[in-house]
Amino acid sequence: MSEQNTPHTDIGTLGEFGLIDRIASHFTPTQNETTKGIGDDAAVMDYGGQPIVVTTDLLLEGIHFDLMYHPLKHLGYKAIIVNLSDVCAMNAVPKHVTVSLGISNRFSVEAIDELYEGVRIACEAYGVDLVGGDTTSSPSGLMISVTAIGSAPKEKITYRHGAKSGDILCVTGDLGAAYLGLQILEREKQVFLANPDMQPELSEKKYLVGRQLKPEARLEAINHFEKSGLVPTSMIDLSDGLASDLMHLCKASGTGAFVEEAQVPIHDEARLQAMEFKLDPITCALSGGEDYELLFTVDPSDLDKVRFMNSVYIIGEMTSEADGINLHTTGGQIHPITAQGWKHFE
């Protein structure tokens, strides 16, 4: 059937970001309404009036979640949140979602009810309407695809590009906890598989496990910005990890950056857990994904607006591109920060 000479390049050679760049290179927006196409947390379209932002994320069983430790209600909640987070990353307010499902006959009606209970709770908590979706059978496993739509005045929309050398780098919450929560769940799964009579001991790990299973989108930060008249110069949400997502901000903005290790917020439980796993807490903060905090930059003249903002941490500064992206360690050294993001295709 297949042609002998058809070239076959492993997707792994490009990686996720290389593949997206390759796809994007084949499409040039032609519509006047397209303000921003591929390449940010959400696309921006302006039909006159207030622009809208649109983003979509796909969650696959076995890749993004494991039903052995992701309760369906939490999963429904998380599927909505990860999309709302991308809307917030544009400094926009989420308004609508669609939810599409691929379900195998392994799932009962009650299981789907559970999933949608989580969807409903998230929609209610964030004031978002579920306005559609699609339902199809899948040969095995569960697939959830969510699209979120939001809006913001044109002058408030914040892109990954827009940071300048000298801008202050901020984050809305502590980092690394969701990754460590996942490591705990994986460990307990292995214990359970080896001995099904063993019940997981998670009560002391509530914070970390909660950060993995029930993330939140930082809509309150967007509301704070609005109240204090602050428009960040650039923003991204932390889904892949600080290192990888900071690299996206820098690449889009044509800047470098430095991060002060001592200023990176790491929860006490995350610090302890990292040490228990013999991991460096700062490595978990830099490379662990799924914290869904917002990473943003502000002009130095706006410093006072962020300095006293609840749950905003100043962690570094943007620099010129030639300076690269560096970590200033607590020991006084300067380490280049490298990041590939998560290598889905390896």
- Does 334 contact ligand ADP by CB under 6 A? no
Q: 160-193 as b/e, with b when 16 or more CB fall inside 10 Å?
A: bbbbbbebbbbbbbbbbbbbbbbbbbeebeeeee
Q: Which residue, 11 or 303, is less far from ligand ADP as judged by CB?
A: 11
- Does 40 contact Mg ion by CB under 5 A? no
- 22 membership: H or E segment, kind and range: helix 15-25
* CB 232, CB 225: distance < 8 Å: yes
Residue 73 neighbours by CB distance under 10 Å: 19
- Does 200 contact ligand ADP by CB under 6 A? no
Q: What does 40 interact with, of Mg ion, ligand ADP, none (CB < 5 to 8 A by kind)?
A: ligand ADP
Please tell me the distance from the alpha carbon of residue 243 to that of residue 246, in angstroms, as a whole number.
5
Q: Which residue, 19 or 112, is less far from Mg ion as judged by CB?
A: 19
Both ends of the chain: CA-CA distance in Å?
27
Q: Is 255 helix (H, G, I), strand (E, B) or coil?
A: strand
C-beta of 109: minimal distance to ligand ADP in Å? 31
C-beta of 26: minimal distance to ligand ADP in Å? 10
- Does 57 contact ligand ADP by CB under 6 A? yes
- Does 237 contact Mg ion by CB under 5 A? yes
x/- map, 213-252, ligand ADP, by CB under 6 A: --------------------------x-------------
C-beta of 39: minimal distance to ligand ADP in Å? 5
* CB 268, CB 333: distance < 8 Å: no
The residue count of the chain comes to: 346
- Does 291 contact ligand ADP by CB under 6 A? no
Which residues of the shown chain bind Mg ion in the complex (CB under 5 A)?
41, 86, 237, 239
Residues that bind ligand ADP (CB under 6 A): 20, 23, 38-41, 57, 86, 239
